[in-house]
Amino acid sequence: MRIGILTSGGDAPGMNAAIRAAVRCGTDLGLEMVGVRRGFDGLIDGDFIPLDNRAVGGIIERGGTILRTARSAEFLTPEGREKALEQIDRNSLDGLIVIGGNGSLRGARWLSEEGVNTVGIPASIDNDIPHTTMAMGVDTALNTVVESLNKIRDTAISHGRAFVVEVMGRKSGYIALMGGLAGGAEVVLIPEVPVSLDDVARTVADGRRRGKHHSIIVVAEGFAPTDRPLDGESAGHAVAAHLEGTETIETRLTILGHVQRGGSPTAFDRILASRLAAASSSWLAAGKGGVFAGLDRDKVVAVPLSAMDEEPANVDLDLYRLVGVIST
């Protein structure tokens, strides 16, 4: 069997570890592994490279993806999808591993519905994949957030300032909540919990009255305050501008941005990547596509790709409340 492997959407630390494990486990099972470059764009263009065990050497510790990635606009069109199916046929691919986040696994679902033996591997720092306790890349991103918060706290304490730190996550508040919890934030603002900017200012002012001289407010990029529209402004900007406006405390804004997507994967992400990829290769070899490799707490499970229609449930509101209690 000839199996293609591609990485798609936003890169996530651990993608290379997954490519390495998928190729080596696939080879062990007698599969011929083929790399597809630039995600679904490369699939449409037939941008394929052979991948043997040596080709994936020395990459386990590298962030990003050696296969490169893309947010393919063409794959969203019927013409683009037709071309992708033609390439799969012309290049005699018997199966495909799609490593990526929410949008990429939806693409994998479509291919599977068209009869392609497809398996997905959840890789996204957003942790917004249903039936997946942890997607690949989340742990590394969280550690980057915590490291950044540690550094920001040094300067926040020295100047007695508030720092608003905007983190990624798309519509999910997972990185903000878990990063804020681990980084000792006073306030965490996430899309899942509606809060007004006035409430934020009140919480920070209350803290000052209790003798807190600095504050760290972690804001998910998807957060929307209840008392004013964002009008194109980022969530972090809105929170920082409001705090400055109320003269509660001198405030600075840091947007962590793509720094959260880079870096060498943590041990957790490398192990997770290896486990998910090993399962994916074996499912494909057995012709059991149409699934993605979810993680149910510590167990790798085959989740039907149709579950991508479901809402992820990874944000634990008890932990949100815990932030409020332990930051007092």
Which stretch in 89-97, 118-126, 185-193, 242-250 sits in contact with ligand F6P by CB under 6 A? 118-126
Considering 126, 128, 139, 269, which one is annotated as catalytic? Answer: 126
Which listed residue (26, 169, 191, 207) binds ligand F6P by CB under 6 A?
Answer: 169
* Token digits of residue 33: 């592994």
CB of 177 to ligand F6P, least distance (A): 14
- DSSP readout, 185-196? -SEEE-TTS---
- Contact status, residue 137 vs residue 123, Cβ threshold 8 Å: yes
Q: Residue from 261, 285, 305, 312 that binds ligand F6P (CB under 6 A)?
A: 261
- Kindly state whether residue 100 participates in binding ligand F6P, applying the rule CB under 6 A: no
Is 140 a residue that touches ligand F6P (CB under 6 A)? no
Residue from 124, 132, 215, 280 in contact with ligand F6P (CB under 6 A): 124
Residue 174 structure tokens: 């997972």
Whether 296 is catalytic is: no
Pairing of strands 95-100, 2-8: parallel
Cα(99)–Cα(33) distance, integer angstroms: 14
**186 binds ligand F6P per the rule CB under 6 A:** no
Span near ligand F6P by CB under 6 A; candidates 49-57, 60-68, 121-129, 224-232: 121-129
Among 170, 214, 270, 275, binds ligand F6P (CB under 6 A): 170
Residue span 149-168 as binding mask against ligand F6P, x where in contact by CB under 6 A, dash where not: -------------------x
C-alpha torsion sign, points 315, 321, 326, 327: positive
Residue 110 Cβ vs ligand F6P, minimum distance, rounded to whole Å = 19
Cβ atoms of 211 and 160 closer than 8 Å: no
- Least distance between ligand F6P and beta carbon 24 (Å): 27
Which positions from 211 to 250 touch ligand F6P by CB under 6 A, shown as an x/- string?
Answer: ----------x-----------------------------
Strands (E) in 135-235, as ranges, are 162-167, 187-189, 215-220
Q: How far is CA 60 from CA 18, 43, 147, 263, in A?
A: 8, 24, 22, 12
Interface region with ligand F6P, contact rule CB under 6 A, candidates 78-86, 122-130, 188-196, 212-220? 122-130
- Establish if 179 lies at the interface with ligand F6P (CB under 6 A): no
* Structural contact between residues 98 and 120, judged by C-beta atoms closer than 8 angstroms: yes
Position 109 contacts ligand F6P (CB under 6 A)? no
Rounded Cα–Cα distance for residues 144 and 260 (Å)? 6
* Residue 107 CB burial class (10 angstroms; 0-12, 13-18, ≥19): buried
Q: How far is the CB of 170 from ligand F6P (least distance, A)?
A: 4
According to DSSP, the residues that pair with 32 across neighbouring strands are 2
Site residues for ligand F6P per CB under 6 A:
10, 71, 101, 124-126, 168-170, 221, 261
Catalytic sites, residue numbers: 126
